[in-house]
Each structure stands twice: as structure tokens, then as C-alpha cells.
Amino acid sequence: MSSSCSVFRGALEQALASRSELSLLAFHAHLADCADCRTLLEEERALDLLLAQWPKPAFDDARIGQLLLRLARERTQEREHVLLDGLLDRAGAVTAPAGLAQRVLAGLASERSRPSPVRRVLRAWQPLAAAAALVLSLLLWRPWGSAGKPIPQAPPSELLSMLDLLESLELLQGSELDLLLSELPDDELELLQYSDGESSGNGGEAPRSNG
């Protein structure tokens, strides 16, 4: 059944429900191309005429033939429904396999506990945050032996920007961090993942200077 057939048969059902004149549907454009829908309309008009003339209907031979075809089709559909209901009754109730819920929950738990790339990137930034905090403390609090050297009024702006970024990354959790990193360009995200791999390869330790 095409979409045009569905549209026409929907209009036919509405006309039957509202007891409208079925003859108005005879001018439907779809009927010019679809013989099945023309036959269906004639059968419905014959049945509608029978109900209107009940209990003493007066039909010609053509109308009687259309009515018999309509009733035969209705009986066939009812028989198909009865057969389908019988098959469903014999099939019995469908039961889920034993332990299915536990297996699904176990799979979800293992998937949830697996570290995501975003969390690995965050762990790679933690040593850098500690190192930056140490450098800032050395800039703000110099030893007493270097009293002759001027103390800077404020740390460099680049260092403050780095600390703000690291602090914001540490404060972000879960979906907020995922959303932040999803907005990064691909090259920057690959750089963060590369830094994560380097930190994992070095055991999480910062490289020592020769001095």
C-alpha cells in the first residue's frame, strides 16, 4: 500500500465515522490511478446503502455483488485475526534468561570504572600544577639570605594564567570536564593526550635538572 492509498483510506475512515456522503470521495484524485481503492470505495458505499435501507434493503445485482465481496473480505480479516491470536496463545509467555539483569549490571559497572581519556589527561596535569605552585611560592617567599635582592611586587602574568588554568581543571569534575575538553581543537587535545603519555612513561616524575 502506497502513501497515497493510506491518505485516501484515512479520509474514507473519517467519512464513515462522521456519516458523511461517500459520493464526495468519488472525486478524489487518487482514485484515477488506484483500482483497489476504487473497489474499496464501491464496497463501502454498497454497505452504507444497505445500512440506510435496513430492514428492507432494495439492491440491484451489481450492488449485491459488491456487498458480498465486502463481507467476504471482512470475514477473511476476522479469520486472520483469530489465527494470529491462536498462534500467540500457543507461543506462551516469553521469559528472560536467568541472571540476565546481573550480567547487564556487571557490564555497566566495569564500563563505568574504566578510566576515560579525559580523566587521564587531568591526571597528567596534576604534576604540572604542583610544580607551578612550587615555583610561585619560591618567587613570593625568598630566603633571608637574599635580602639584598629586590622582591618582585607580583609574579609573572604567564605563571598566573597557567595556575588559573590548572586550578580550573582540577575543580572541574565529570561531565563539566568532558564538555570543556570536547570544545578544544583536535590538535590541542592530541597534545594533552601526548603529555599524558609522557607523564605515564616517566612514572609521573618531573625531569630533574643537572644544576
**70-95 pLDDT per residue, tens:** 777 777 776 666 666 666 666 666 67
pLDDT at 39: 82
pLDDT at 155: 54
**Helix locations, the chain, DSSP H:** 3-17, 35-53, 61-91, 100-113, 117-140, 157-171, 175-182, 186-201
DSSP 3-state percent helix, strand, coil across the chain (nearest 5): 75, 0, 25
Tell me what percent of the residues of the chain surpass a pLDDT of 90.
Answer: 0
Alpha-carbon gap, residue 136 to 146, rounded angstroms: 17
Q: Which residue type occupies 90?
A: R
Q: Which tens digits make up the pLDDT trace of 44-65?
A: 777 777 776 666 666 666 667 7
Alpha-carbon gap, residue 24 to 157, rounded angstroms: 82
Q: What is the number of helices (H) and of strands (E) in the chain?
A: 8, 0
Q: What is the pTM of this model?
A: 0.28
Element (H, E) at 5: helix 3-17
* 179 pLDDT above the threshold of 70: no
pLDDT at 154: 55
Alpha-carbon gap, residue 39 to 70, rounded angstroms: 9
Q: Which tens digits make up the pLDDT trace of 105-143?
A: 888 877 776 666 656 656 666 666 666 666 666 666 555
Query: Can you say how many angstroms the Cα of residue 108 is from the centroid of all Cα atoms in its chain?
Result: 18
